[in-house]
Amino acid sequence: MITSLLIANRGEIACRIMRTCRALGVRTIAVYSDADAYAKHVREADEAVWIGASPAADSYLDGARIIAAAKQTGAEAIHPGYGFLSENAAFAEAVVAAGLIWVGPKAETITAMGLKDRAKAIAEKAGVPVLPGYRGEAQDAPALIKEAEKVGYPLLIKAVAGGGGRGIRLVTKAKALAGELESAVREAEASFGDGRVMLEKLVEQPRHIEVQVFGDSHGGGVHLYERDCSLQRRRQKVIEEAPAPGMPKAVRKAMCDAAVKLTKAVNYEGAGTVEFIVDGAQPLSVDTFWFLEMNTRLQVEHPVTEMVTGTDLVEWQLRVASGETLPLKQKEITLWGHAIEARICAEDPAEDFRPGAGLIEEFGMLADEDEDWLRWEAGFETGDRVPAVYDSLIAKLVVAGETRDEANERLIDTLAHLQLVGVPGNVGFLRRCAMADAFGRGTHHVNWIAEQGDTLTQPSAAHQHASVMAVCDLQLDRGGDMPWSIQDGWRANRAAGLKTPVEVGADTDWFDPRAHDVDEDIPLALVTDLSERRFAVTTGGDSFLVSIPDFEAEAEALAGGDAVKAPMPGKLIAINVKVGDTVEKGQVLAVMEAMKMEHSLPAPRDGVVETVDAELGAQVGEGHVLIGLVEEG
């Protein structure tokens, strides 16, 4: 059994692999770039090695540096996770050539299944159903146009070496083919260094169903049933589940048997996924699914399979890579209940899923995490910084139940208790997806999110309203026992008033909680104090940063003051004065880094530095007094 493992990845997958390693007593080595120097996966590893600058090309995609880190730390094996170099055959070969164990399939298998046209040819030979299309050598425009007529419209142009939704173009009419071909080839060359394409008949309401497979070096090959990954936006998965809703036993057997056939045809070793496209416009049958591609790695969505089969697929990977046989035979792998995974991303669905970056001010579940039906797979925590240079996935929420309905109810409820503030988040969007009738019935398909428009992507105005009211109520409840501290709105010679000034984003308004009702059907607003006047509020999965303006402090600042305070949470990167220094109004006394920007902190008036209450490089909270002044003389 492997005793030390370098994880050539970051974020939640690195943390997830480490969890299994800790249970098995395997020493873990993390690698990190400049952007990840203080990341969660670095903190949780037994050892960590810097491998380069922030851009992935200079760090996580630099195979030579990763192998050097493994040799330097005495690692026996390298686990690539997913993404980055996980399906790079040259890297797999280099790992083995360096005398290390590669936790994944053989390089020749990665090569064979990495090219979509070759993979489909292997599938056809193995007797696996494949969609009609063109996968030939001729790549000139006239030849492709001729073949497109044979395939028929609508059709998809796909990059032969493609993945992640890149190099794909939908063509509905013959006159659009030439232009889309040129665009697809250009993107394929830029993304994969290979401009070859193939043509494939379009399934207009596709479902995406995949089968988890595993092989070992002793000829063993099994499946661990199927997953449905049909809830997608721009060909990127959003919510995945196992097993697939509405799956008849006969179709499950046919699909899983086909996946195992392909696994054995290529002498597959390790974890893999055989993906199928399914015609969602028809009932599931043995004639309505076709091979799409094979992913030669662990998938993002593997936890749902683990929850319904009671397995640990990372442990399986380590055992198979160590030369052991598969832990279970096919007849010993059973299926229980239903599991659903939601991908938590730092992105703004309302802005076309624009990815976000910056300091996470509050992140986590405001509920019990110890339930056996719940898994929280996170690569970030409160106080961590999301870099702008990597994928937006920051965590995964996984729930299970005896039935699909029970699992989905748990998902909806848990998402309502999940708070993400400081960076854009998709939690409310995920909850709206899970609450939709189509998802509840299991009738959604790959194009469903795009068809819904703003219904899913826009945050709820009612949720924002409830969040603001919760902060107003909280402020009014904070009165004291003295008569002038009681928050009852009493005014001399005028009607009582309870209005409170509130900021949400860039907007400031006055709210009277007595004059606004909150819908009883709206989930309870959950409030977290970030400071005396700033609150993270989550209502129904939508999180808002709500602030109470400090007009007295603003007036004091205009008139000058005795203290230089941190205007927001951040890192102190410069202190320009010491105790006893004489300063002038406007002189920069310190500099903070917050939200990827530098903020100069000037002296509010002339004076002498009396106190310096912060250290260079320290993380400070909003309102922290950094420098105190007294009058000169």
Residues annotated as catalytic are 297
Distance, CA of 346 to CA of 350 (rounded, Å): 12
* CA distances in angstroms from 424 to 32, 95, 123, 349, 357, listed in the order given: 24, 38, 41, 9, 8
| Residue carrying structure tokens 């489909």 | 120
Which residues face 565 on adjacent strands?
A: 625
Distance, CA of 464 to CA of 525 (rounded, Å): 9
Distance, CA of 299 to CA of 163 (rounded, Å): 13
Distance, CA of 520 to CA of 417 (rounded, Å): 17
Give the distance, in angstroms, between the CA of residue 345 and the centroid of all CA atoms in the same chain.
Answer: 4
Secondary structure of residue 340 in the 3-state scheme:
strand
In a 13 Å sphere around the CA of 546, the CA atoms on its Cβ side amount to: 32
Secondary structure of residue 587 in the 3-state scheme:
coil
Distance, CA of 337 to CA of 342 (rounded, Å): 17
Secondary structure of residue 208 in the 3-state scheme:
strand
Which residues face 527 on adjacent strands?
A: 537
Which of 250, 247, 271, 274 minimizes the C-alpha distance to 261?
Answer: 274
Give the distance, in angstroms, between the CA of residue 264 and the centroid of all CA atoms in the same chain.
Answer: 32
DSSP 437-451: HHHHHT---TTHHHH
Q: What is the DSSP letter of 378?
A: E
* Sequence-ordered alpha helix ranges (H) in 134-174: 141-151
Three-state SS sequence of 408-423: HHHHHHHHCCEEEECC
